[in-house]
Structures are given as structure tokens and as C-alpha cells.
Amino acid sequence: MNLNFLFGHKKSFFAICKSNRQMVIQLFIFFTLVILINSPNYSQADEGMWPINLFPTLKVNNDHNFNVKQDWLNHTMLSSVRLRGGCSGGFVSESGLILTNHHCARSCIAQLSTENNDYIKNGFYAKKQNDELKCPDIEINQLVEISNVTAQIQKATQNKVGKAFNDLFQSISSKITSQCSNSKTKDKIHCEVVKLYNGGLYHLYKYKRYQDVRLVFAPEESIATFGGDIDNFNFPRYDFDVSFIRVYENDKPIFTQNYFPWSTHGAIENELTFVTGNPWKTSRMKTHAILETMRDIDLRDNIYINNELHEKLLEFQKKGDEQRRISTDLIFFIENNLKVYKGQQQVLMNSEFMNNKKNQEQEIINILKTEHSNLYRKFGTAWNEIEMATKEYRKISNQLTYIAYNSFGSDLYNYAQTLIRGASELQKNNDQRLPEFTDSNLPRIKQMLLSTSPINNELEILNMEFYLEKMKEQLPTHPLVLKLFMNDSASIIAKKIINGTNLKEIKEREKLFNGGIRAIKNSQDPLIIWAQLIDQFALPLRKKFEKEIKSKIDANNEKIATVFFKLYGKNISPDATSTLRITYGQVKGYKDHDNEEIAPFTKLAGAFERSTNVAPFIIPDSWQKNKNQLNLDTPFNFVSTHEMIGGFSGSPMINTKSELVGLAFDGNKYSISGAFYYDSNLSRTVSVHSNAILELLDKVYGTERLLSEITSPTSAKTKE
């Protein structure tokens, strides 16, 4: 369980401003929103992950002499896509071709692989359109419209807190999304209400939904993840973290007039460029109490669980090549998460950072009390209300982690829980259901339940056994734990459940879904029976948290946002929300904490020089065989001042002509603190250069059909 709370400030700022109380209000809010944190290298520069409809066109024009027109923004929005579940991408041809990262398409590549045909290890290329393989689980969302629904939601939830706020918010949100996506269009349209500025604004995002997505190209894992965990969040880098997928509709590639044509020169140092993607979450406007909870509970637990599971999986890999193949994807995911969690915890362990945040919050409350009594009467208790809610959260955090939100690392358990809850929820009116079962989300639920993704019993058992052991360790006297472990060990329970269930069969899942509540009640499947027992405890816990704790935090965050708007306005970008954002910046090197100058570009030659023929520094045979054909001076990876957090992976980097010049795939180690603040002197996005992609597709992979498509005269049209 992770509430993603947070942020903090600079001691010298507080001391300077203390003498002028009115100035404190204005500057406190300004630096809170821009995130003036404990960084000696802080500079504002081009900070901001901007919703496309709130983009600071005037500032960009003033700072960079580029007139951002509405047509340019519309084209950028329609050319960008979200991979549902955590990544980004962009259309790069009129035939629905999407460029994204290898690690973003990795789940598809792994699901299509077999013991005898390992596309993760060997790569994949569809020489003909008929060779393109359908991904079992990928859904593509293309944002097509944004509308402001703030007045509707705030009117419905005005003066409400706790359960009343939660119920009204869910009800009005469901009604709004239902009107956006009716029964005739829900399979092709997805709508969601997006909370911005902690509830200061609510926007309705309307997406075109595509669920027929096919793999076109992926390189070998060894070069897509070159450097592995050692180089992760570092630079220089030499990764070909690239893949191509294609969107189909009615069994044919879609036609789109909106895509990013390929640049003839690629990214250039100091040139104004833009990254467009879907960053997950930032915590730059969170309160001190939320920040403390994130540090003490969420990050601590996430690090503990991931560390132990990582060790268990490494032991599992020693069993053989097949065990290594099926678990590598999960290990990759865990290692990346651990670096993020540990980096964020390091920021929050800084006592000066934390103390200054707390002091400045109290100062703003005191000023409201003495100089803005009307605002204080309406909103002055919001900070304290949030602190009280976080104390309640702490009391049940273990139960939330190990019961309410515990998926046991199991796809099969997820199927069972979805079937059980779906049978119950779908009997209710749309506005009374759990959010994931509203009409707008049902196509995604069906896609997941009917996925052809392979399931490995051995890995399922390992994960379930691990999470059962953690549950028993952390909640030894809980009634659910006593029931689950009445007769058997975690190992025996996991083997009985996984080996005994029929939910591995798509037809069985489809039958239970279509059969509804009666089919679930009559089912003798051991996993369905077991999951129903768990849900007797898990669902009430979840509802208690969401209606009594999270809703209180949400309602009071909205009050704080209102204070900010009244005193400062909306000139700072809102926290990330897993929705489309655009950042702007430049290709630029940096000087690290060791005072070493880091050049902005690496070259293809550097990958061969760094190769040791020992994982994770193995250059694949395809590269070695064609080394003499390559222009080794071609720029390979590069860094830029754009903001980078999770969710931006796979984001296209474009120039002012909307031409693709690079593909974002990572951040450097200084970007990990991006959840809390941005430092333009140190924080960098790491991307693959567009010239390197062309060079390698041509001279290593021989992808004639793909190259022709992305460099054809039609694709090369410049869209001003």
C-alpha cells in the first residue's frame, strides 16, 4: 500500500522571509508549488509537468521565443498515447505505428515468448504485416478531449468530509464518466475524472481506447537493458531501450493524421525540445504529515518487501534456464522500484528538509489566522485534519498492505478477486460501484480476464507463498490469518490453491464472469472459495480506508488547494496524475556532485567499449556481426533538462516542428527526487537518440519495411 505523500523547503528562505508576513504568504506558496527544496543547485529553469490544456504558452514564448499555437498542442495531444498500466508512447506513422520503450512492451514480449522461442532473449521483428503478433494485455489510450468539471464536483461535495465526501465524489464522477462514454461507445471510449492541484481542479479526460495492439519490433534484452541494475539511473548509458507496436481496429491498422514525423537530424544540444508522456505520481503539494507517513510507513514497507522478494527470486533463478526466463521480468521491475524507493526515502530522511516543511506550514496557518480570518475559518483546520487522518492510517497500515490490497503477487488470485467483486458490483447501479467496475472501466476488466497471457504455476506458487508468509509474520493474531493457517503452512496452501484452480483456463474465467453472482456462489474452484474468504476481510478494510481516511485527506487537500489559488493562482503545474503532460527543456550535460563534467551525448562506439561479454554488459551477436557497417560516431543516448519520473518511460521527445528527435527511457540518479522537487542543474532525462534508432534498424536489424514506414515522404511531413 502506498499513499504517495509529500515535500519540504529551505531553511535560509524561511529565515529571510519571517520578517514580512504578507510576503511569506506569497513566496511560501510560490516556492511550495515550484518545490524549493534542500538543493544547493536549485534553479527554476523549465520546471513543470503541464497538462496540455494548461500549458504555459506565454512563458515558453518569453523564455524561448517559440510561439506555441493551439493547433500545435492539439497535434501533440493526439499524437501521444498512454500504455494503460504505466508507460507512454507516440504515433510515428499514419498506420498506427507507436514508438515506445522495450521495457514498456516487455510484458507483451515475455507473454508471446516460449521456452523454444524466446523473444526477450533473441528479439523480434515482423518482416510482414501478417507477422505482427497481438499483445495479450496492452491497452492504448489516446487522449482526444479535456473538459472542466470542477464546478459540478465541488458543488456536489461542498462542506462534505469522510464517508459523505467519498460517496458523493464517487457518485458524481461515475455519472460524469457515464455521460461521456455511453453503452454504445464504452468499448471504444474511456473517460475518467482527473483530480488536479489536490482537488483544486477536476477535469474530465476522454480517451479513444484501443485493445488490439500488436508487436512489430523489439531488440534483444541484452542491449535493451545494457548495463542492467549497475547502470540504472546513471549516465553515461548505452541502452537500445526501444520497441515498436501497432494499433489495430477491425483487424486492420488504424489510419491517423496525427503522428510525429522522424527528424532528419535528431536531438541537438541546447535546442528547445518537448517530452510528452504520462507521469505517474508526484508529491510536491503534499503536507508534512503525509510526507512523514510516506517515509515511516509506505517507503519502509515497500523497501522491506521488495528486498526480501528479490532475494527469493534470485534463488529461484538458480534452478535453471526456464526459471530464469520466467522470473527475469519481475526481477527487473523490483530492482528498478528499489532504487526509486531508496532514493525517495533518502530525501525524506533529511531532518532539515522535514523540519522546515513543518515550520513553514505552521507559519502559513498563523498568517491566515491573523490576517485572513475568513480564509482561516473555512480552511484553516485542513492541515490538522490531514494529520489526524494519517494517524488513523498508521493504525491499519499493516492490514491494508497485507490484506486489503494484497494481490499475493498472483495473476490467478487477481482473476479470482476480480470475478468475485465483479459479480457483486455489476448488480449495482453504475454510480454505486467500486471505481474499477464502472461502465467506463469494464472493457479493461474484460481484456484482463480474457487475456491469453501464459501463467506459470511455479512462479505463482513462489509469489503466493512469499506473501502468505509476510502476512503471517506481520499479522499473526488477525482472525483472517488464524483461519488461513489453521491446518497448513504457507507452502502447502499456495500449492493446493494454485495447482487446484481451473482459472488458468480462459473459458473458465469467461463462464464465471458471464454467470455472475450465481456462478460464483456455486463454484467449487479452490481459489474462488479461498478468495471469497479473504474478501470478507479485505473489502471492508478497503472501504473503511477509502471512506473514512482517504476521503478525509482528499477533502482537506482540496481546501488547501483553494487557499493556494486564492493567494497565488494557478501558474505552477499540478502534481502528476498518470495523465498526459508535456515538459520542455534542452539537451544539456551537467556537473555531478563529484564535480565531474558529464557530456550530454554518448556514441555507439561507447557500447562496444563498455562491453565485457559478461552480463549485464553483453553486446548481442547481431551487433558484433555488423559492427563494421555501423557509424560508431552516431549519438546513442543523451541527457536533457526535461523532468523525468515513472510513467514518462516511452515518451517521445520532439522539437518545435513536432519532429521526433529522441525517446525517453530513464532518468539519472538525481531525478529520483523528482517526486518532491526539480533541480535543473542536476536532474536529467535519459533518451535514445533518433539517429541511433535509424542507424541500428538499418545496419543491424535490416528492418526495411519498418524503416520505410517511419522515413517515407508521408511520414516525413513537417507539422508546424
pLDDT-derived band at 183, boundaries 50, 70, 90 = low
Amino acid residing at 679: D
Residue 216 is predicted with a pLDDT of 98
* DSSP structural state of residue 407: -
CATH of the domain at 122: 2.40.10.120
Q: Are 677 and 284 in contact (CB under 8 A)?
A: yes
pLDDT at 248 over 70: yes
* Domain presence at residue 229: yes
Q: Which of 602, 685, 678 is nearest to 641 (CA)?
A: 685
Q: How far is CA 265 from the centre of its chain?
A: 30
Task: Choose the weakest-confidence range: 135-149, 315-329, 345-359, 487-501.
Answer: 345-359
pLDDT tens sequence across 93-150: 999 999 999 999 999 999 999 988 999 999 999 999 999 999 999 999 999 999 999 9
- Flag whether 96 is in a domain: yes
Tell whether 559 is covered by a domain.
no
Supply the pLDDT for residue 713: 58
Q: Give the separation between CA 285 and CA 259, rounded to whole angstroms.
A: 34
Out of 25-39, 575-589, 660-674, which region has the weakest mean confidence (pLDDT)?
25-39
Q: pTM of this prediction?
A: 0.89
Give dist(CA 11, CA 509) in Å, integer.
Answer: 57
pLDDT at residue 16 is higher than 50: no
pLDDT > 50? residue 416:
yes
Question: Residue 37 burial (CB < 10 Å; 0-12/13-18/19+)?
Answer: buried
Q: Looking at the predicted structure, is the pLDDT value of residue 7 above 70?
A: no
Phi/psi at 582 (nearest 5 deg)?
Answer: -130, 130
Instruction: Please give the pLDDT value at position 240.
Output: 98
Q: How far is CA 638 from the centre of its chain?
A: 22
> Identity (one letter) of the amino acid at 142?
Q
The answer to the question of residue 166 being in a domain is no
Please answer whether residues 51 and 203 qualify as being in contact, where contact means their C-beta atoms are separated by less than 8 angstroms.
Answer: yes
Coil, helix or strand for 503? coil
Interval 666-673 mean pLDDT: 93
Rounded CA-CA distance 301/350 in Å is 19
What are the Cα distances from residue 109, in Å, to 221, 329, 466?
10, 10, 26
Half-sphere CA count of 513, side-chain side, radius 13 A: 20
Measured CA to CA, the distance from residue 134 to residue 212 in angstroms comes to: 7
In-domain check, residue 199: no
Q: What pLDDT is stored for residue 414 in this prediction?
A: 98
> Is 701:217 a contact under the CB 8 Å cutoff?
yes
Q: Which one, of 103, 51, 230, 139, lies nearest residue 649 by Cα?
A: 103
Decide: helix, strand or coil at residue 309.
helix
The whole-chain average pLDDT of the chain stands at 90
Does 253 reside within a domain?
yes
Sequence-ordered list of residues with C-beta below 8 angstroms from that of 112, at least 6 positions apart, any chain:
119, 124, 133, 135, 136, 215
C-beta separation of 258 from 638 below 8 A:
no
Lowest mean pLDDT among 289-293, 371-375, 545-549: 371-375
Number of domains in the chain: 1
Confidence of residue 22 (pLDDT cuts 50, 70, 90): very low
**30 residue type, one letter:** F
What tens digit of pLDDT does each residue of 455-469 get? Answer: 999 999 999 999 999
Identify the domain containing residue 608 by its residue range.
70-139+211-281+574-711
Check: CB of residue 528 under 8 Å from CB of residue 420: yes
632 in any annotated domain? yes
pLDDT digits (tens, 9 = 90+) for 327-341: 988 998 899 899 999
Q: What is the 3-state secondary structure (H, E, C) of 225-283?
A: CCCHHHHCCCCCCCCCCCEEEEEEECCEECCCCCCCCECCCCCCECCEEEEEECCCECC
Complete DSSP assignment for 424-469: HHTTS-GGGS-GGGSGGGHHHHHHHHT------HHHHHHHHHHHHH
Q: Does residue 132 sit within a domain?
A: yes
Q: Which helix (DSSP H) or strand (DSSP E) does residue 378 occupy?
A: helix 373-379
Which whole number is the average pLDDT over 70-95? Answer: 97
Q: What is the average pLDDT across 278-284? A: 91
pLDDT at 101: 98
